[in-house]
Chains A and B, each alone.
Chain A
């Protein structure tokens, strides 16, 4: 079946602009995660959605970052007033539920802030 999809694959933006990144999870997966991967570093957790529960926002680095998940499916990560340190690959993952179930990752969105 179809995997996790993300769009755009690449985004170049000017410092101070807002950007929206989209994630389409695997159908039927109730858990959705956003991570950030910076050059030479591991994955940094950003936010987690599980069904209709309140999202776990504990990983968001600042209030410029926000995310929503509509209808328990598609998710959008928004970064307002982008800074150069926001440049990274943003990865979305989904799983059947949280916890013991493996996460399936999308190809990522490479964000470059100039």
Chain B
């Protein structure tokens, strides 16, 4: 079975400081990993994904994430937070071992607040 954990419901960071939003996963095979962001009253927007290859992936708006197989983690990071980064962030996984299961399994989300 596949699962995703976002251990922090809320993350607060000062503007200009680095930010990290944590995500750990559990799958039977190899994972496809995704990060999405949801702004108020809007749909989810794709940020970045890990499929294979380089463990450090770069995405939209200066975000990046590092795939760590031994720790089964895929933490989202940004070197310098902006107030406009304040939103709800979702980590998602697809287990490639489960053939036919093409849907993503989402975490419960982490609300990021960047304080001016």
Contacts and interface: CB of A to CB of B under 8 A. Distances in A.
Interface size classification for chain A: 20 to 34
Nearest to A44: B106
Given A42-B107, A43-B90, A102 B102 contact: no
A108 B43 contact: yes
Interface string B63-107: 000000000000000000000000000101010100011111111
Given A91-B44, A107-B42, A99 B102 contact: yes
Contacts of B22: none
B34 A56 contact: no
B10 to A, nearest CB: 12
B103 A42 contact: no
B29 to A, nearest CB: 12
Contact of A31 (B49, B51, B102, B105): B102
Nearest to B48: A102
B43 A106 contact: yes
Interface string A31-73: 1010100001111010010100000101100000000000000
Given A91-B44, A105-B44, A107-B42, A43 B106 contact: yes
A33 B103 CA distance: 7
Contacts of A103: 34, 46, 104
Interface of B: 4, 32, 34, 36, 41-46, 49, 51, 90, 92, 94, 96, 100-109
Given A56-B101, A102-B49, A105-B44, 12 more contacts: A31-B102, A33-B104, A42-B90, A42-B107, A43-B90, A45-B105, A50-B102, A56-B100, A93-B44, A100-B49, A102-B46, A105-B36
